[in-house]
Amino acid sequence: MKFFIDTADVNEIREATALGLIDGVTTNPSLVAKTGRKYLDVVREICELVDGPISAEVLATDYDGMLREALAWHEVHANVVVKLPLTLDGLKVTRQCANKGIATNVTLCFSANQALLAAKAGATYISPFVGRLDDVSEEGMDLIAKIVAVYRNYDFDTQVLVASVRHPVHVLQSALLGADVCTIPFKVIEQLVKHPLTDAGLAKFVEDSKKIPR
């Protein structure tokens, strides 16, 4: 499973890439707004830091506006993946991008039917939001299982990109279900390495090493 980092903070991206575990980056308007910077400037800097897919979202909601922004994002860098909302106009733009060889990430997916439509439209990635489903008392990972099963039934090329990840269990469940990608906030990436037995074992090794003759 590929690991993307879900952030627009270039300092977090630098730290994550230093680990050698990051395959790509996802951004969205909410994340970019936290930086206080222009979206284009943020994406250009990320493109210099990460050699992998970098999702940049259109801000328009109408067909013409989304298509115009999609074409503009495509010109920014070869690694930019155009992020489009899962609406009828968004799907129409997804098809236009697929016809032009432009990679897309269809976002705000909350049902298997939506994911099926995105795959038929030619999406490169589909982004189901598991954490937001959990927030409304639905089981977000059940959606991942359904999408993975549907896509395997018909050999769709669209990759399942698990989004709205809240904790390490989401990452593990995504891997067990066979998701292609998990996009993870930096704080969750840090949590993945943590285990109390690792900490205790390391402390014991350090303490015992002091007893070794020098």
Domain-located, residue 73: yes
CA 154/CA 168 separation, integer angstroms? 30
Nearest alpha carbon to residue 147 among 134, 163, 160, 138:
160
Q: Which amino acid is at 213?
A: P
Domain-located, residue 214: no
Domain-located, residue 188: yes
Positions marked active-site: 83
Domain-located, residue 32: yes
β-pairing, 24-26 with 2-6?
A: parallel
Q: What is the CATH number of the domain that holds 146?
A: 3.20.20.70
CB 185 within 8 A of CB 13: no
| pLDDT tens-digit series, residues 157-183 | 999 999 999 999 999 999 999 999 999
Domain range for 104 is 2-209
Q: Kindly report the pTM of this predicted structure.
A: 0.95
Domain-located, residue 54: yes
| pLDDT tens-digit series, residues 10-58 | 999 999 999 999 999 999 999 999 999 999 999 999 999 999 999 999 9
CA 166/CA 141 separation, integer angstroms? 12
Number of folded domains that form the chain: 1
